[in-house]
Structure 1
Amino acid sequence: MPFAYQRTLHLADTDAAGVVYFVRTISLCHEAYEEALAAAGVRLADLLGANGIVVPIAKCEAQYLRPLHAGDKVRVVVTPVALTEDSFAVDYEVHRLGSPEKLMARVRTEHVCTSPAKRARAVLPGDLAAWVAAR
């Protein structure tokens, strides 16, 4: 099931021209990802080595459709997508709120579950696999 995250863009998110810097859009999506995981009961520590696995981003792509500015209120829709038993993608849509609401960007990250000790891919842990499957 998609998750929605909202926030107001800050001056610190923008470049000298007052437009949201492209990397900040990806950072905004990652904030939304973390919030989606927390809402589903997935602990970040478990994805950062606490249980012997890590889940890094292996690929990221973004399509910027319209510029965002400081003060814009945005909603990021987060949708996990199963790829294999050890990988998944997360699709994001960044919308500027208002009348009318507008789609501003699309971002996709692909994540791979690995065991650093074994130097090999690992099956997604149960809570993360459930979050991805719940789409």
Structure 2
Amino acid sequence: MTIAKFIPDALDRRIIAHLRADGRASLSKIADALGVARGTVQNRLDRLVETGTILGFSVRVRADHDDFNVHAVMMIEVTGKSTTQVIQRLRGFSEIRALHTTNGNWDLVADICTSSLADFDRVLREVRLIDGVANSETSLLLTTV
């Protein structure tokens, strides 16, 4: 099934919300919670995956059980028209879990996770050495509330 531009409807969004709260929920549990047939949930979920609306399923690990226990957000200013090249370089860092373009004073926001402060320091230095990175500001994430 190829859909040019798939837009999730209200039921799709409810299924996604349920999976965000409990990614291990069975199809039957989701169907019961939403008041629809199990087959409906299966078909909708298949379509959400096939169209790329759902990219995958993951596990959230308690901070004290996470090997990557140093988490930070780095805002990056890029010079001139080098954004594409900077993004390509940043995608090569396994420690950068997500990379976002943004507006305002900063051009990019990087979600960084490392296993130690030494690794974190290394990543910061390497990012700042990339041609086209003009400035950066990094904040460590301390406690999830």
Same fold (TM over 0.5): no
Query: Based on CA coordinates, which of the two structures has the bigger radius of gyration?
Result: 2
- Taking structure 1 as the reference length, the TM-score comes to 0.22
Whichever structure has more helix as a proportion of its residues is 2
Higher relative contact order (CA 8 A, sep 6+): 1
Whichever structure has more strand as a proportion of its residues is 1
